[in-house]
Structure formats: C-alpha cells, structure tokens
Structure 1
Amino acid sequence: MTRWYDRIAHDLKGPLAPLQTASYLLKSEGLPPERQRELADVVDRQARRLNRMIEELGDYARASEHRLRLRIEPCPLALVLDLAIGSVPGSAIDPRYDAGLDSVAVAGDEGRLVQLFASLIAHLQARAPGQTPELRVTAADGRVRVELLGAGPSPDAETLTAMFERADPAPHDEGLGLRLMLAYAIAQMHGGSLAAHAPDGGGLMFVCELPLAPG
C-alpha cells in the first residue's frame, strides 16, 4: 500500500512542473502575444489534468467506502450507452441489442453508469488503437448483461485477476490509473457486477450485469 501511495504522490506532481514553468515564464516582460497564448494553454491543460486526477482519486476514495452519492432512478440503457460512447474520443461503437432490449431501463444513477461504461470503452480502445470494440446487450432473470469485446492480445490470468484490484500502471488518459477500479465499485454499488475475461479468440471482454428497473 505504501508503494501505491508513493506512486499516487509522484503522479500528482506530474502536472506541477509544466505549471510552474509556464507561470514563471508568463511573468517575463516583453513576451509576444503568441507566446503568452501558448503558455496560457499549458497552464489550462495541466490544470485540467490535475483536476481530473484529484476528481478520480476523490471518487475512488468515496466509492471504496461506499460513500458515492447515487441518484437511483430508471435509466434508459440505450441512452446511457450512447452517452458513454459519445464521451470517448474516436469511439464509433454500434451497439447490438437482443430483441426488445434497446428500450429497456436499468435502475441506476445515469451519470455514474455513463462513467462506468466510458471507462471500459476507453480502456479497450487504448489497448488496440484503431480497432472498434464490439458491444452486445442481452438480458435474463431481471438483469441486463452488457458485453464489451476489444481486440489486442489477451491478458494473462494474473492481470485479469488484478484488473479491478490495483491501479493501471500505464493509464491511457494521463490519470491515476484508477478508472477500472472505480468502474468496478460503481457496478457493485448498483447491485450489479463487473468481470473481465480472456476469450478463446483473443482480446479482452468486459461483462457488466445490472438490475433492470422495476415495471
């Protein structure tokens, strides 16, 4: 755990060096307007990055202690998935629904569910750039099952086991690598489940099950 804290502290320092450098240079006299804009962009970009890291860490801390605030209500699953797909740059997934499931609703917090599926999609796309993951929706026994299959090499058994238990050592979004751990916690807090599998044909599959909304 100490090593994990060390890594978090190290990663949080990442944006500070360019922030400090840009802030120092902005105080220089006679800077051309173009150079001022470049440095201002550096400050803005790194401040946003630092904010994402802090939000990610805060969300994970609250989720690990079941303190995330959830507004549970019927959420159209198709809308949740469309919002998640649209929030991931470059994503062009075309979901496949079993008969009638494109109009079902799940019981959950729309924003957190979008966050969950966006994290899974972004992870799969980062593993296999240029390859579009497949998404299929099925249902049984009052639960909906969302399968996300990405290309690329299959993780080994140890990696699969630890995928939701430890931070990603090379996060794709310049974050802290907690996105999958947070996605797992969100699924659990919705009374659902999230698992990772290595299909026989290769790649990585995420399977998320969530309760259907009553009625």
Structure 2
Amino acid sequence: MSGTTPAWMGKWAHDLREPLSPMQSALYLLRYGESEGAERDELFDLIDRQIRRLVSMIDEVNDWVRADQGRLLHIRGPVELQLLIEGCLSAAGASAVDIGVEYRDGADRARINGDASRLASLFSTMLWLMSSPSPGVDAKAGVAPARAVVSLDREAGSILFEGPLLRASGIRGSIANLFAEPQPASMGDGLGLRAVIALAIAQGHGGELVLLEDASDTPMLRLSLPLLDEEAE
C-alpha cells in the first residue's frame, strides 16, 4: 500500500456505516422486544429515516461519478428562476436555511435553460452555504438573516447569484478546498460532496461558481449562469 489514500475517503466508510447502527438497534427491539403501538411506529420511522439517509449518501457518490464522466445533466428546458429559488427555500424550511433573497434588475422574471432538478440541487446547496449554521441562536441574539442578491448582467447575458459564505468554518483546510474535495459531514450531513457537485452542475450549464475576495472577514460566493435567449426560443 502506498499510504496515499485521501483522508476524506477513509471517513466515507465511517459515514456510510453510521445509519446502520440505529437500524440494527431498532430491528433488534422489533424482533425481540415488546414494542407496541406508538413505540413500534417510532421504530419503523427511525428505520425509514436512516434508510433514506443512506440512500442519499449513495446518490451523492453516484452524482459525483456521473459529474466526473460528464453525465450529470438530463433533460433541459426553460426554468423560471424566482420559482426555482423560492421552491428551494420552501423545501429547506426555516430551520435549515435562514436567508433572505433580493431580486434586482428584473431578475425575478429571468429564465434559465437547464435541467430543473439539477438546478434545484445547485441553488439548494448555494442557499445552504449562505445561511447561518445556527439560525436559532442568531435570532435570539438579534442577528439579521443573511441576504443573497440575484441580479442580471445583460451585457454578459447571465444571471448572478451572490451571498456570504457563512459555513466557512466547516471547510477542511483552505477555503479554496470547498469546491475541490469532499468536506466533513458537518457541511451537509452526508458524504460532504454537495459543494463539489454544485460546481459540476454550474459548469455543466455553462456557468461559474467562485469564491470572491472581500474586504470583510466573510467570504462571498458568486454563481453565474447563462440567461435563456428568448429570441432563439
């Protein structure tokens, strides 16, 4: 053995096994215990949650491989930008993503030509990275939610989505590694591939996802994607 296996790959074995322990405990109690009624239902719910969590991790690996092979995107079509973003916010819920979105320059009417499901994954990851790791604590302290700005660069024919990277503390090593390698589970309760896959989705749509230099202590994220050419439609 060369000893060159990345540290994050060794952690995957632990992360993939983690959902199995509560599942085994629940199955033992169902088989040999005396669980009935509500308690029995809770054990089945626990198993269901952990199965979905494990499937999500496997899907992460599958998406990562497909991205590397250039097979991540599927059917493309016109996507309403505001509906997409608002849908991502609604699906995440206030407990997961505490962020406001401001639309400028008519960006609320903009459309993108792309894979709707992959774009939803991209914007969900962006909103999550821009949101506070502890929204409940911030609310009690009177800290205002972060704000993301959606604007249009008509000269370049693209939409811009910008906001603060508030989850920088969870990045392994240099902040530049965010889109270069898997991150700790704290960066998404999975295998840490969300940001890497988000970059692949952006690039697959002819866009860019970058970290901006900023005078403040908070780094900024910028996503740019081509606007739908209405005249060519």
The CA distance in 1 between the partners of 2:73 and 2:123, in whole Å, is 18
Q: Matches of 1:154 and 1:38 in 2, distance apart?
A: 34
Q: Is the 8 A contact 2:26 2:46 kept in 1?
A: yes
Other-structure match for 2:191: 176
Cα deviation for residue 154 of structure 1 reads 7.7
**1:93-134: per-residue Cα shift (whole Å, max 9, x none)?**
332222222111112111111110111211232535346221
- From 154, 160, 163, the equivalent of 1:145 is 160
Instruction: Name the counterpart of 1:214.
Output: 229
Question: Which secondary structure does the structure 1 equivalent of 2:32 belong to?
Answer: coil
Aligned to 1:196: 211
CA distance in 2, matches of 1:97, 1:29: 55
Structure 1 residue 151, shift from structure 2 partner: 4.5
CA distance in 1, matches of 2:37, 2:107: 55
CA distance in structure 1 between the partners assigned to 2:167 and 2:38 by the alignment: 42
| Matching of residues 60-99 of structure 1 within 5 Å | 60-90=64-94, 91-99=97-105
2:113 to 107, 113, 123: 107
Residues 126 and 172 in structure 1, CA contact (< 8 A), matched pair in contact too: no
CA contact (8 A) 2:182 2:193 kept: yes
Whole-angstrom CA distance in 2 between matches of 1:35 and 1:22: 11
Measured on the aligned residues, the alpha-carbon RMSD in Å equals 2.3
**Who is 2:129 aligned against?**
123
Q: How far is 1:150 from its partner?
A: 4.5
| Matched residue count | 214
Any stretches of 5+ residues in structure 2 without a counterpart? 139-143
Q: Deviations over 1:178-215 (max 9, x none)?
A: 10011001001000000123532232321000001111
Q: Could you tell me how far apart the structure 2 residues matched to 1:5 and 1:92 are?
A: 31
TM-score, normalised by the number of residues in structure 1 = 0.88
Q: What's 1:6 paired with? A: 10
Q: Distance in 1 between matches of 2:37 and 2:86?
A: 41
Moved over 6 A (4+): 152-156
2:100, 2:145 within 8 Å by CA — same for their partners in 1? no
Q: Which runs of 5+ in 1 are unaligned?
A: none
Alpha-carbon distance change, 69 to 177 in structure 1, aligned in 2, over 3 angstroms: same
Equivalent position of 1:136 in the other structure: 149
Aligned residue identity for 2:196 = M
The 8 Å contact of residues 194 and 207 in structure 1, kept in 2 or not, is answered as: yes
The answer (yes or no) to whether the contact 2:81–2:108 under 8 Å persists in 1 is yes
Deviation, 1:37, is 2.0
Residue 84 (structure 1) shift: 1.7
For 2:5, the aligned partner's letter is: T
Whole-angstrom distance in 1 between the partners of 2:101 and 2:157: 20
Return 50-59 or 164-173, whichever deviates more: 164-173
For each residue in 1:19-55, what CA deviation from the matched residue of structure 2 results, as whole angstroms up to 9, or x when unmatched? 1111121102533323312221221111111111111
Kindly tell me: are residues 72 and 155 of structure 1, through their superposed partners in 2, closer, same or farther at Cα, counting changes over 3 Å? Answer: same
